[in-house]
């Protein structure tokens, strides 16, 4: 029973983190029909940012997530301006290949500058701290990161559903031309959405630095999981991404513990294939 609860908690905590990583991808896809292949590398950039802020300036990840969010918002906005904007309306593959190129650039840049070594930030506020919960041990860095992720998703969802800006974003996603007739500057909405997608993954990356090592390839697995989450939850749906991410987190932790650690990603992708075969638009797709 103790094991079961432990595995359940691990799965949920990971799932919440995956949800925040995937939310930005889902938002950008939902509004602009653009797949950002550099999403994992955005995460990696935020991790390096928080790592160096922690290592050089002694700023804890639970503070530097603000810097991560802002920096990645700007990186997202600049990416939109310089790369996405010019590739929209061209061949369907153009934005995809362009962001793929960006991901290679970012990865290899970090490889060169920071070496391929793993770097784990030490001396964090919550490092090694745990709380006991019904026989399970809950590591605090993971718990706080997961709660942050949930809160950021809540704010994002509230913004989309309840504010004028959120309605304008949804309107732009549904009918761009009609949105322009309302006076909505859809160019600015796109810029903002790309920035917000960056900010989500930036906050996630910064927080993760409190317990995970950063290296140039770290984005690969996370972006793969994010793609699975987005497709599974239904493109553009934030609640869908949350539930799909929790499902993925649980499948990962249960299969890793009860079957074998090496098969956990086999199980994750098997579930993904199963759902997509039965329901191609995902669990909550539009």
Partner 1 sequence: MPPMLEVKNISCSYDEARVITDLSLEIRAGEIVAILGANGAGKSTTMRAIAGLLHPEKGSVLFEGEDITNLPASQVIRRGLCYIPEGRRLFSRLTVRENLELGAYTESSREAIDQRLEEVFAMFPILKARSAQRAETMSGGEQQMCAIARGLMSEPRLLMLDEVSLGLMPSLVEKVFETVVEIRRKGVTILIVEQMVQEALEIADRGYVLQTGKLVTSGTARELLDSDEIRKAYMGM
List of residues contacting partner 1 (CB under 8 A): 164, 167-168, 170-171, 174-175, 177-186, 286
Q: Where are the alpha helices (DSSP H) in the chain?
A: 2-32, 39-57, 61-79, 85-87, 94-114, 140-162, 164-174, 176-181, 186-208, 218-233, 238-258, 264-278
Name which of 13 and 184 has its Cβ closer to partner 1. Answer: 184
Q: Cα(129)–Cα(276) distance, rounded to whole angstroms?
A: 39
**Minimal distance, residue 155 CB to partner 1, in Å:** 19
**Minimal distance, residue 27 CB to partner 1, in Å:** 16
C-beta of residue 77 within 8 angstroms of C-beta of residue 191: yes
The 3-state DSSP class for residue 216 equals coil
Q: Cα(126)–Cα(94) distance, rounded to whole angstroms?
A: 43
**Where does residue 217 rank: exposed (0-12), middle (13-18), buried (19+ CB within 10 A)?**
middle
Name which of 178 and 270 has its Cβ closer to partner 1. Answer: 178
148-169 in b/e form (b: 16+ CB < 10 A) is: bbeebbeebbeebeeeeeeebb
C-beta of residue 147 within 8 angstroms of C-beta of residue 13: no
**Minimal distance, residue 157 CB to partner 1, in Å:** 15
Name which of 180 and 217 has its Cβ closer to partner 1. Answer: 180
**Minimal distance, residue 183 CB to partner 1, in Å:** 4
DSSP state of 282: -
Name which of 58 and 177 has its Cβ closer to partner 1. Answer: 177
**Minimal distance, residue 236 CB to partner 1, in Å:** 10
**Minimal distance, residue 185 CB to partner 1, in Å:** 5
Q: Which two tokens stand for residue 97?
A: 């290949």
The neighbour count for residue 171, using CB atoms within 10 Å, is 17
Name which of 130 and 170 has its Cβ closer to partner 1. Answer: 170
Name which of 93 and 178 has its Cβ closer to partner 1. Answer: 178
Name which of 91 and 164 has its Cβ closer to partner 1. Answer: 164
C-beta of residue 249 within 8 angstroms of C-beta of residue 16: yes
**Minimal distance, residue 171 CB to partner 1, in Å:** 5
**Cβ-proximal residues to 106 (8 Å cutoff; 6+ apart), any chain:** 38, 41, 42, 44, 45
**Minimal distance, residue 234 CB to partner 1, in Å:** 13
Q: Which bin fits 215, alpha (ψ -120 to 50), beta or left (φ > 0)?
A: beta
Name which of 105 and 185 has its Cβ closer to partner 1. Answer: 185
């Amino acid at each position: 029973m103790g094991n079961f609860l432990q595995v359940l908690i691990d799965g949920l905590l990971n799932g919440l983190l995956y949800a925040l990583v995937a939310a930005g991808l889902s938002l950008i896809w939902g509004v602009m029909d653009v797949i950002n292949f550099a999403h994992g590398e955005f995460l990696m950039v935020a991790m390096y940012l928080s790592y160096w802020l922690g290592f050089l300036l002694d700023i804890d990840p639970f503070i530097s997530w603000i810097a991560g969010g802002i920096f990645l918002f700007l990186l997202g906005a600049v990416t939109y301006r310089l790369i996405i904007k010019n590739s929209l309306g061209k061949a369907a593959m153009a934005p995809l290949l362009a962001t793929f190129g960006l991901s290679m650039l970012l990865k290899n840049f970090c490889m060169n500058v920071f070496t391929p070594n793993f770097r784990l930030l030490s001396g964090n506020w919550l490092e090694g701290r745990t709380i006991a919960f019904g026989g399970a041990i809950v590591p605090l860095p993971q718990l706080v990161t997961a709660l942050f992720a949930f809160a950021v998703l809540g704010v994002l969802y509230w913004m989309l559903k309840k504010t004028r800006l959120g309605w304008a974003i949804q309107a732009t996603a549904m009918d761009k031309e009609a949105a322009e007739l309302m006076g909505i500057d859809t160019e600015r909405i796109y810029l903002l959405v790309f920035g917000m997608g960056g900010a989500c993954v930036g906050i996630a990356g910064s927080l993760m630095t409190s317990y995970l090592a950063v290296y140039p390839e770290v984005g690969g697995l996370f972006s793969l999981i994010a793609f699975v989450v987005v497709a599974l939850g239904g493109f553009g749906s934030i609640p869908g991404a949350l539930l799909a991410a929790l499902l993925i987190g649980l499948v990962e932790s249960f299969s890793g513990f009860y079957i074998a650690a090496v098969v956990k990603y086999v199980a994750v992708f098997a579930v993904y294939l199963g759902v997509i075969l039965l329901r191609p638009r995902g669990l909550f797709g539009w």
